[in-house]
Structure formats: structure tokens, C-alpha cells
Amino acid sequence: MGLEGHCEEDGSEELTFQPGLLGTTMNDVAGPWDHWEGPPASGLYDPANEKEACGVGFIVSIDGLSSHKILRDAQTLASRMVHRGACGCDNDTGDGAGVITAIPHDLYQRILKDEQGIILPEVGHYATGIFYMDKVHNVESEKLFGELVAECDLKILCWRTVPTDNRCIGQVARVSEPIMRQVFVTGHQNDLQVMARQVFVLRKRATHTIKKHGIRFYICSLSMSTIVYKGQLTSEQLWTYFPDLTQPDFKTYLALVHTRFSTNTFPSWERAHPLRILAHNGEINTLRGNVNWMKAKEGVMKSKVFGSDLQKLYPVVEPNLSDSGCFDCVLEFLVQAGGRSLPEAVMTMVPEAWQNDKLMTQEKKDFYRWAACAME
């Protein structure tokens, strides 16, 4: 079962289902839906069952020195994972591919200075991220985002249209291709921890309030340290679709690449990996129970640091996400709002079989026993 699109005489785009195993047509799907997200539950299909089995590769400079070679090595990794990803009925639309890297400060500094006369603050003193929007509401969405930025006591430095080359991508991916805009935000230069919390609150509030039915708004990432480039691409198309990734001054000390195989589900630009804090390979079989427990915890959680702003971060698990997307939301929440380090948060969510391990240190067992009180 797949999607295909064609243009009407008035220039609008119509989506239809290719006949498949379920024999589904557009008329079979109850109610209106946004074609970039996939249809709602209908018949045997339920978006709550969105799962994936994918390929992941990671490369890092252990001395922390950034170079363009890390990115080229990541491209090599991705090219060797083609068999781990999947493509659509047109053979040119990938289930999804992407890369997360450290913010390439030299590249952005050059581009913004040359194109807009903007001088960026030093590394770590600003946040940036790539947004997906639709052609009709993108100006309105940017205005609403700007209002939230001011409410969070931050300031927008500038917006930038992310250069793309869609000649290589498939027809299905092209039909749902978003407008990609990149924002640069700054704030309290004398207290970067406060700024990081404000950026996290901004991202969550924007996701909860700007996106509505018929309005496309998705934040790939908004971070002071990393940037995500991704889309409904194959692992080979990724590197030609984004010209930024070919620039010699795109330097990073880490790169995490991912190619997606969506298991009997609907791929989309938004569901591509990496997500905001992880890239995941596999399926989560206890998803519904985990999501329900996290929703229940929202009624009893408190934070001395966030105070009343904690309520603005709810729901922790955002709607219409895959299993990996749900996991990413909780992991990000534990790190940003829970004050855990990334390793501690991962160990909390994916504990070892520690109870009967005679070789494990008592200190580590005590950590897992404590973590079990907060996470089922």
C-alpha cells in the first residue's frame, strides 16, 4: 500500500492511495486529514501502531575536535546502510533518513554574515533549529513563534530558508515536501543554563500551540549544541538534498546517521530520524502503557527550577508520534526538565536486568532501584 500524487488543473495537489493489500482508497478514510502526517485510524490501520526497524551509525572525534571529515565519514556510514532502510512504491521515496551533528558554527557564521549581515554570538550562546511548515501558513506560524520567543524572554536573531535540491527525491516525498526554515535565537548571555531552559520551554510551547489541523508546524530540533537535517529521503539522497552538508566549512565533532524502515506504517518527513535527542532502531512493544503512565505522572510532577512553567511542557509525550518519537519526548524531558545527564536518563528508561546480577556493583544496583521508583 502506498501514496501517490498528481497536480490538478488549478495547481493543487491531490493524494490517492495506490491499491494495496487492504484495498484502501482516499474515500475509505474517515474524516479530513493532513497529507503530510498520514491518515487517522481506519479499518485495520491505527497510527498508534506506528513502529520502525532501522539502521543507525555513529561517529565521533574522541578528542572533541571538529572537522569536515567527520561528516564525510558519516556519509560513508549512511551509504553502507541502504539495505537497512526502505523506499516507497516509486522506488525513489525513502522511509526517512537524517543526521544529527554539532552546530556547524563556521558555516552559519559565514552564510548569515554574507547573506543578511548578521554576526552570530560565539558557539554555545545561541540556539538554532530547522522547522517544517506549509506554504499557506508559514508567515503566520513564524509570527506566532516570534511572540512565544518574546514571552520566553528570548530574542530572534534571524530566519533563514534552508537550501534544498529536490531533483533527486521521489514523487511521493515531493508531494508532501515542507518549506524548511531555520531560526537563530539568543537570550541570557550571562546564564546559559537559564537560556537552555528557556529554549526548551519555547520548543515545547511552540509545538503545543502553533500546530493545528491544517497547519503544518514541526521543529526538527531547537538546541544550543546540535542540529538535525532529515527528511523523507533515502540514506543516499540526504547528502544531495541538503547542500549545507556538502560545504567544506560544515565542521562537527560528532555525527549520528539514521535510515528508517517503517514497519507497515506511513512514512513522513516528520517521522524521519534522528529525532531531537536520539535515533532509534527497533520497536517498543509496551508503548501504550508507557504513554499512559507518563500522562498520569503529569498530575503529580513538581520542579523547583521550572515552577509553574512545568505545566507548559505538558503533554510530555506529544500526539501523533511513532514509538521512537514518544521515547524521544520522555528522554528529552528527563534531561531538560529532570536534571539528569543523558546517560542517567537512558539508564532510567532502559535499565539492565540488575536484580539478580551478582557481578554488578552495589552502587549501580542502588541507582537502578532508585530509578525504578520514577519510571516503570
Give catalytic residue positions.
54
CA angle in degrees (0–180, nearest 5) for 256-205-211 = 85
Angle between helices 192-209 and 138-151 (to 10 degrees): 140
CA distance 183 to 149: 11
Q: Are 250 and 68 in contact (CB under 8 A)?
A: yes
Instruction: Please name which of 231, 244, 203 lies closest in space to residue 333, comparing C-alpha atoms.
Output: 203
Q: What is the 3-state secondary structure (H, E, C) of the chain?
A: CEEEEEECCCCCEEEEEECCCCCCCHHHCCCCCCCCCCCCCECCECHHHCCECCEEEEEECCCCCCEHHHHHHHHHHHHCCHHHCCECCCCCCECCEEEEEECCHHHHHHHHHHHHCCCCCCCCCCEEEEEEECCCCHHHHHHHHHHHHHHCCCEEEEEEECCCCHHHCCHHHHHCCCEEEEEEEECCCCCHHHHHHHHHHHHHHHHHHCCECCECEEECCCECCEEEEEECCCCCCHHHHCHHHHCCCCCECEEEEEECCECCCCCCCCCCCCCCCCCCCCCCCCHHHHHHHHHHHCCCCCCCCCHHHHHHHCCCCCCCCCHHHHHHHHHHHHHHCCCCCHHHHHHHHCCCCCCCCCCCCHHHHHHHHHHCCCCC
The distance from CA 208 to its chain's CA centroid, rounded to whole angstroms, is 15
Sign of the Cα pseudo-torsion (341, 342, 347, 349, in order): positive
